[in-house]
A and B are shown apart, each in its own frame.
Chain A
């Protein structure tokens, strides 16, 4: 690297194995196994990044990749007005081993398909209006190797177990759709909790309940959000804005650190250290230890999520949020397990707060804009009538402006759930999000009725 005048260089190598299948109504399309080995090389030359990825651990390919990355960085640096610099970090050496109770690699593919098949049976047999059930399964195991020119060397085992389940129901021309996701970094033991009976039932019952649901009314309403919806709200509406690269790009949080932006009941964390959670890891892909980062504390904005580059710009510490999906992608700022800290209220009290509005229990998707406009689609919702849960409501969504909405968070429940998911930002990251039930005095509900 000195030969090319690089200020910084890092190499990430991976040896990964995957087992996957997709099951539709109990039929496995194809049981799949894969091997992915490769190297990612990133260098800083003249203040610009060069990145080269090759699917090979061969030394000639590596030598080529190094000169390629340096030449590209140099080309990219020509018109640079403000060169990239990195925050200092500790030089580390560590070997991190996964310690699953049940190693995915020691469980036969037959057993994995059998578990999915049981879940499928539970879902399809629970109600004859359930017409389809799709189950995707993935486990990923292997080792990643990290070294940089500061002198750090980190070896980390990778272990992810994931499943996505969907079901559709049909009755007199009404179609409904339900989704569940399971994800863990602990091991295959996640299926001891999320058993076929538990997950199959949850999946099917939601799809069936929605059959008699009515469309929501459009307009402004008080709402109670369930932990699963609070999670996606914290992640989408606030979390992305608290990613320092987004904040720097003109996001609404850039210049308001230390200011009150939410009601006092609001405390948000992004935490890479939750044991076994889908968004947990020990070191990020810049070799920085994962940590618990407070984003909002008692309504005041407490910090942002950083990589080494943005930490330097904000004169902050890197938070261990630099993640790359694999050796084909560059590390960028990503969330880990993002959640709201619980309060002291019961669900009954929260529903009474809302009096007349909607209870949004489970989300379908969400998306946010730099200006703070967010949207959350809901797959399970109910009316709130006189402070009690009423009729089910179908295909609702709500939106608003993040900062305006955070001030309207009225109260937080004492319960807490963390849900696994995947987040897209040009590349996919495994994450969790969650929180307690909360009541919000007003959001905009998108409805056609």
Chain B
């Protein structure tokens, strides 16, 4: 068992680095200390074959000299020399750079909300043996569901991460969180038929995952994709599950509401605040404080408090996501959306929990509105969407044909084509079955009139 760094040790590392950088000539300085510990148990081809532990810690120092920014990081924390060395490197990087007239300052200190439900000591204490049990329950549940199911890969993981951030304007914060996850990718085989890959998972901030449910669902999905029929090329009503939404929105809508993209003409939402850009049934928040959210934390990558930001209100565009640089450049306040890859990177704008508010319809009620449609979960190629215009042309496989409110049969290899921003206007209903998936928290959506290219 490897102990994690204490709050005091993390904070003093950050604060000392800031002091040292200022002493060496930085006009402003910021230090971000990160520690991550992940224990995993891996499934390959139907059996548990491996376990791993990765411990990663380090410090990144950002300095401003004459309005030019430099950054350096190291993962060597046990030597004062290493920290001194990166301060020198950050300063030399700043000195080598041209001044940025738009630089204003690092953020000021603001109070942080007290969070509940983001840290669970039980997760931090999980050993390989415990995770082997979780993974075994999942595999057993899949095997009991149907003999034709083959679990390809998956596993169980327990993660811990802590951050300390300090800057020369008095920001000083520490936050720690845990996450536990189990996941299973499956396919089903019968005769010469092999289904496309299906996937299910459960990810939580406290130790209450349900591996049996994951195993059963991953198995059920694969078996349901065994018997496929081709479908015609035409426009369909789609039920988009969270898997599909996560892929579709990440590369398009979420990019379009980042303030730097808006400001740089890389978003169709420029000059669209207050304009109706989506269906009336869509209300969306970015909520870094959402209870139990996978991206919930006290502050962002610059030590700015997380907040709840209204993005879309009944289809009307209401707000963008800011880090402190873009906010100050345009006379706004940071929305706490500066994201960092631990100690390795400078901040970039990213959504926290991108929360599409649920409606009142049960999934069955939503389905019953579909006379002739397609349920879409698993997409291929969403990352090849045009990130600026929102145009997409992607594969959905497997997908499920819906007739008179019921799943009729599976289909494979169909293509969907259109524009995500048009699609947002054609959302006709929102279910009440919200779930969290990475940064997305959303229910199923019903979308009218999407071009589907069948075979």
> Which A-B residue pairs are the 3 nearest by beta carbons?
A377-B384, A365-B384, A375-B381
List the A side residues contacting B385 at CB < 8 Å.
Answer: 377, 395
Binding site for B on A (CB under 8 A): 24-25, 27-38, 48-56, 58, 64, 68-69, 71-73, 75-76, 78-82, 84, 108-110, 113, 131-132, 168, 170, 174-177, 215-216, 218-219, 245, 248-250, 252, 328, 330, 363-371, 373-378, 394-397, 399-401, 444-448
Binding site for A on B (CB under 8 A): 2, 39, 41-42, 44-45, 47-58, 62, 69-76, 78, 82, 85-86, 89-90, 92-94, 96-98, 100, 102, 127-129, 132, 136, 150, 152-153, 187, 189, 194-197, 233, 260, 264-266, 268, 344-346, 380-381, 383-389, 391-395, 397, 412-413, 415-419, 451, 453, 455
Q: Which of B49, B268, B392 makes the CB contact (< 8 A) with A49? A: B49
A33-B89, A397-B384 known; A52-B72 Cβ under 8 A: no
28 A-B contacts (beta carbon < 8 Å): A24-B260, A28-B97, A31-B70, A33-B72, A33-B89, A35-B82, A36-B75, A38-B75, A48-B49, A51-B52, A72-B52, A73-B50, A75-B129, A78-B48, A79-B48, A80-B48, A218-B417, A219-B233, A248-B45, A369-B197, A369-B397, A373-B413, A376-B384, A395-B386, A395-B391, A397-B393, A447-B417, A448-B391
10 new A-B contacts, CB < 8 A, other than A50-B52, A395-B392, are A31-B97, A76-B48, A80-B49, A168-B266, A175-B386, A365-B384, A367-B384, A369-B196, A400-B413, A444-B455
CA distance A328 to B36 in the complex (A): 11
List the A side residues contacting B89 at CB < 8 Å.
Answer: 33
With both beta carbons as reference points, the residue of chain A lying nearest to B345 in the complex is identified as A32
A35-B82, A176-B388, A448-B451 known; A373-B394 Cβ under 8 A: no
List the B side residues contacting A371 at CB < 8 Å.
Answer: 187, 194-197, 397, 412
Contact A375 B47 (CB under 8 A): no
Q: Which of A76, A397, A400 makes the CB contact (< 8 A) with B50? A: A76
Q: Which of A48, A69, A131 makes the CB contact (< 8 A) with B265? A: A131
CA distance A76 to B424 in the complex (A): 46
With both beta carbons as reference points, the residue of chain B lying nearest to A133 in the complex is identified as B264
Q: Please indicate which of the listed interface residues B50, B69, B416 has the most CB atoms of chain A within 10 Å of its own CB.
A: B50
Distance in Å: Cβ of A368 to nearest Cβ of chain B? 7
Contact B380 A368 (CB under 8 A): yes
A30-B69, A68-B53, A366-B384 known; A444-B415 Cβ under 8 A: yes
List the A side residues contacting B392 at CB < 8 Å.
Answer: 395
List the B side residues contacting A84 at CB < 8 Å.
Answer: 49
Q: Which of A32, A48, A447 makes the CB contact (< 8 A) with B72? A: A32
CA distance A373 to B48 in the complex (A): 27
Contact A373 B412 (CB under 8 A): yes
CA distance A25 to B380 in the complex (A): 32
Contact A79 B90 (CB under 8 A): no
Distance in Å: Cβ of B389 to nearest Cβ of chain A? 4
Q: Please indicate which of the listed interface residues B53, B98, B100, B233 has the most CB atoms of chain A within 10 Å of its own CB.
A: B53
Contact B381 A397 (CB under 8 A): yes
List the B side residues contacting A170 at CB < 8 Å.
Answer: 265
Contact A34 B344 (CB under 8 A): yes
With both beta carbons as reference points, the residue of chain A lying nearest to B325 in the complex is identified as A29
List the A side residues contacting B55 at CB < 8 Å.
Answer: 53-55
Q: Please indicate which of the listed interface residues B75, B78, B195 has the most CB atoms of chain A within 10 Å of its own CB.
A: B75
CA distance A161 to B331 in the complex (A): 38
Contact A50 B51 (CB under 8 A): yes
Distance in Å: Cβ of A225 to nearest Cβ of chain B? 15
CA distance A413 to B86 in the complex (A): 51
List the B side residues contacting A33 at CB < 8 Å.
Answer: 71-73, 86, 89-90, 93
Contact A30 B388 (CB under 8 A): no
Contact A367 B54 (CB under 8 A): no
Contact B97 A32 (CB under 8 A): no
CA distance A71 to B130 in the complex (A): 13
CA distance A218 to B387 in the complex (A): 21
Contact A35 B380 (CB under 8 A): no
CA distance A96 to B120 in the complex (A): 46
CA distance A374 to B266 in the complex (A): 29
List the B side residues contacting A38 at CB < 8 Å.
Answer: 75
Q: Which of B93, B150, B419 makes the CB contact (< 8 A) with A30? A: B93
CA distance A223 to B70 in the complex (A): 48
List the B side residues contacting A395 at CB < 8 Å.
Answer: 385-386, 389, 391-393
Q: Please indicate which of the listed interface residues A51, A84, A400 has the most CB atoms of chain B within 10 Å of its own CB.
A: A51
Distance in Å: Cβ of A302 to nearest Cβ of chain B? 22
Distance in Å: Cβ of B348 to nearest Cβ of chain A? 8
Q: Please indicate which of the listed interface residues B132, B197, B386 has the most CB atoms of chain A within 10 Å of its own CB.
A: B386
Contact A50 B393 (CB under 8 A): no
List the A side residues contacting B76 at CB < 8 Å.
Answer: 35, 37, 55-56
A48-B49, A170-B265, A370-B194 known; A219-B453 Cβ under 8 A: yes
List the A side residues contacting B189 at CB < 8 Å.
Answer: 250
CA distance A215 to B422 in the complex (A): 15
Contact A35 B74 (CB under 8 A): yes
A250-B189, A371-B412 known; A444-B453 Cβ under 8 A: yes
With both beta carbons as reference points, the residue of chain A lying nearest to B58 in the complex is identified as A55
With both beta carbons as reference points, the residue of chain B lying nearest to A28 in the complex is identified as B97
List the A side residues contacting B82 at CB < 8 Å.
Answer: 35
List the A side residues contacting B52 at CB < 8 Å.
Answer: 49-53, 72, 330
Distance in Å: Cβ of B419 to nearest Cβ of chain A? 8
Contact A177 B383 (CB under 8 A): no
Q: Please indicate which of the listed interface residues A56, A108, A215, A375 has the most CB atoms of chain B within 10 Å of its own CB.
A: A375
List the B side residues contacting A397 at CB < 8 Å.
Answer: 381, 384, 393-394, 415
List the B side residues contacting A330 at CB < 8 Å.
Answer: 50, 52
Distance in Å: Cβ of A22 to nearest Cβ of chain B? 8
CA distance A248 to B151 in the complex (A): 12
Contact B72 A28 (CB under 8 A): no
With both beta carbons as reference points, the residue of chain B lying nearest to A112 in the complex is identified as B96
A37-B75, A370-B194 known; A249-B380 Cβ under 8 A: no
Q: Please indicate which of the listed interface residues A49, A80, A218 has the most CB atoms of chain B within 10 Å of its own CB.
A: A218
List the B side residues contacting A174 at CB < 8 Å.
Answer: 389
List the B side residues contacting A79 at CB < 8 Å.
Answer: 47-48, 132, 136
With both beta carbons as reference points, the residue of chain A lying nearest to B419 in the complex is identified as A448
CA distance A24 to B153 in the complex (A): 39
List the B side residues contacting A365 at CB < 8 Å.
Answer: 381, 383-384
List the B side residues contacting A377 at CB < 8 Å.
Answer: 381, 383-385, 393-394
Contact B264 A53 (CB under 8 A): no
Distance in Å: Cβ of B152 to nearest Cβ of chain A? 4
Distance in Å: Cβ of A384 to nearest Cβ of chain B? 18
Q: Which of A31, A168, A175, A369 makes the CB contact (< 8 A) with B71? A: A31
CA distance A24 to B259 in the complex (A): 14
Contact B395 A399 (CB under 8 A): yes
Contact A373 B384 (CB under 8 A): no
